[in-house]
Amino acid sequence: MSLAGTHIELGPTNQPGAVAEIRIFNREVNGSEHNGVYSLRWQDVEAELRFVWNWNGDPDLFEIEAPGLTARPPALNVPENEQGIIYLFPGSVGM
């Protein structure tokens, strides 16, 4: 999915134990109109991404919730024009 040029992908991973990963390529193109919750899907893996734009140029916030899975880290601050990865592991937090 793309948020005005910021690209977010849910897909396969090589991380041991993880079932998928979310790759984030943050670009300096977003604004407050992009704040919100977005659905991601790859094969049978579903996740919700909450995007929070930081108006002063600090890193934008990407938070993940995925039913039956644990996101590590569950939230990531990604600076403008940089990348980040969130891994999804089997099981919910507290299990």
Q: Is residue 93 very low, low, confident or very high in pLDDT (cuts 50, 70, 90)? A: low
Q: Higher pLDDT residue, 77 or 56?
A: 77
User: Rounded to two decimals, what is the model's pTM?
Assistant: 0.91
Query: What pLDDT, in 10s, does the model give residues 57-92?
Result: 789 999 999 999 999 999 999 999 999 999 999 997
Q: Which is more confidently placed, 16 or 57?
A: 16
- Per-residue pLDDT of 28-45, as tens digits, reads 888 899 899 999 999 999
Structural contact between residues 78 and 26, judged by C-beta atoms closer than 8 angstroms: yes
pLDDT value of residue 29 = 86
Residue spans per domain, the chain: 2-90
